[in-house]
Amino acid sequence: MDYLKWSKDEAIATITISRPPANALSQGLLKELSDVLDEIEPDREIRVIVIHGEGRFFSAGADIKEFTTVDSSAGFTNLGTTGQNLFDRMEKFPKPIIAAIHGAALGGGLELAMACHIRLVSETAKLGLPELQLGLIPGFAGTQRLPKYIGTARAAEMMFTSEPITGAQAAQYGLANHAYPEEDVLDQAYKLARKIAKKSPVSVQAVIQLLNYSKTHEFYEGMKREAELFGEVFTSRDAKEGIKAFIEKREPQFKGE
């Protein structure tokens, strides 16, 4: 694999995002993540998964440069739907997934983290959905999951301003389970994983199924509409300007078209 590493130690599997410098979520990386889940799912020895990022970040977001290779609304809608389906699979995955977050989980990185069952963060980590800064919107169900965790008002502020919150705030708001000093996050994730691994896989899987019953029909309608708007917004002139400005490292000049 080019972008991920994974291993197992007794009942715990570790997935490491390894795409320096920012662990950006490319289409290739998402495909590899799907392939890893295919390997882990039938392995009866594995009971819990820990996912984390190598280097400075958990994941600083999607690969913006890759967006320049997509030239149609339908193409971006398909991209959004692909990410949504993968993250929905993670949320329904029969083995608990723990995200150990340090550095930054932004954009697609935060959407990935929100699809995990449990999130542990470093106190100083930055978590946010900054897509509007580029004239874009979240596309991997971020607009649907974030309000579920922190409420509509806080989610609106985070997305409208593009400003991240700290890991300490994320724990306070309910977006993360616990916040720790950065050097302790991964150890705490394994400590938690070992506790969960002692439980009956049958009962754990039942709880995961029941947790997913809390999703409503409106959630999936919202996901579908998000993917459609993801495609429409990405083909706007403002989106092209936002992506170009990001690549050129300058402030975008949006004109509302």
Domains of the chain and CATH, by start: 4-182 (3.90.226.10)
Supply the pLDDT for residue 206: 84
Phi, psi of 126 (to 5 degrees): -110, 125
Supply the pLDDT for residue 202: 87
Q: Which of 51, 52, 56 is CA-nearest to residue 21?
A: 56
Segments of the chain with pLDDT less than 50: none
Q: Is 131 a catalytic residue?
A: yes
Alpha-carbon distance of 155 to 9, in angstroms, equals 37
Check 111, 183, 232, 251 and give the catalytic one. Answer: 111
Supply the pLDDT for residue 70: 81
Check 131, 228, 232, 248 and give the catalytic one. Answer: 131
Q: Is 45 a catalytic residue?
A: no
Residue 130 is given by DSSP the state: -
**135 has which bridge partners?**
none
Alpha-carbon distance of 235 to 244, in angstroms, equals 13
Question: Which tens digit of pLDDT belongs to each residue from 101-154?
Answer: 999 999 999 999 999 999 999 999 999 999 999 999 999 999 999 999 999 999
Supply the pLDDT for residue 255: 82
